[in-house]
Amino acid sequence: MDINAHTQFCGVIGNPVEHSLSPAIHNAAFQKLGLNFVYLAFRVEAIGEAIRGLRALGNFRGASVTIPHKVAAVPFLDAVEPTARHIGAINTIVAEGGTLTGYNTDATGALRALREGGVALKGRQVVMLGSGGAARAIAFALGTEAGIDRLSLLGIDERERTALAGDLQSKTGMTVQALPLDEGALRKVLPDTHVLIHCTPMGMSPNVHGTSVPATLLHAGLTVMDIVYNPRDTQLLKDAKAAAAMGGAGSMASEFPHW
């Protein structure tokens, strides 16, 4: 790859980003396709300042947006496509003609992964761990496209999970209960749960032995999805397999076609 004055650059914006496999995946794709692009990882604390800086760079083409900026980035963009606006979170920024537009591919990626895995969602009870940007996107997809029976939303931040539950109920009509993410709540909801979707950073490299769910609470017949992709086989998924639950990971490169 020859980097020159015409090279277009993209990147992942988040905190942390050291674990991210996105640069390796995207740069390999750019090279395979013969594109004069490069993809970098940027650890960003002040998302507004970062986006303002990107506007000044003529070769900036787009970015993946990850934890913790998927919601906070929205007000700093020129436009947000309708699905992302409805959800209230983005995971992709596209720069075109001096305009920065936000998109959200988390929802479609997660639902596609579940459907390709043969997971039935209609009429099912789903537990979601986390209430941030990724959880918000997937939860809206469950409410508008999947026809689930009930969503139990467990999150550490009370204000965040309560706000998300309210948005879901008002915009989708889905039955939602918001609970703290602790062992007591997990014991209450997991026995009757068909699908568990994990949307927190717990278990992400380098903290590969971390998990939000005690292994003893996982049971046969439970489908477990973990959006953490590094490592691919997280501690939660290992515990799920040991409990004869079905485990799997989500997809992550849905933003690439936008660039």
Q: What CATH number corresponds to the domain at position 91? A: 3.40.50.10860
pLDDT of residue 253 exceeding 50, the answer is no
Structural domain harbouring 146: 107-249
- How many structural domains are present in the chain? 2
Mean pLDDT for the chain overall: 93
Q: Are residues 215 and 87 in the same domain?
A: no
Q: Do 148 and 89 lie in a common domain?
A: no
State the catalytic residue, choosing from 70, 122, 171, 238.
Answer: 70
pLDDT recorded at residue 258: 56
* Residue 16 included in any domain: yes
Residue 203 binned pLDDT confidence (cut-offs 50, 70, 90): very high
Domain boundary among 104, 127, 156: 104
pLDDT at 256 over 60: no
| Residue 255: pLDDT band with limits 50, 70, 90 | very low
Residue 252 has pLDDT above 50, yes or no: no
Q: In this predicted structure, what is the pLDDT of residue 108?
A: 85
pTM as predicted: 0.82
Same-domain check for residues 99 and 115: no
Q: Is the pLDDT of residue 112 over 80?
A: yes
Is there a single domain that holds both residue 70 and residue 113? no
Q: In the chain, what percentage of residues exceed pLDDT 70?
A: 95
Quote the pLDDT of residue 249: 57
Residue 257 counted as domain residue? no
* Helices (runs of H) and strands (runs of E) counted in the chain: 8, 12
Q: Tell me, what's the pLDDT at 191?
A: 96
Looking at 63, 88, 104, which one is the last position of a domain? Answer: 104
Question: 241 an active-site residue?
Answer: no
Distance in angstroms (rounded) separating the CA atoms of residues 142 and 214 = 25
Does residue 255 belong to any structural domain of this protein? no
Strand order in the sheet with 8-14: 37-43, 8-14, 60-65, 92-96, 99-103, 79-80
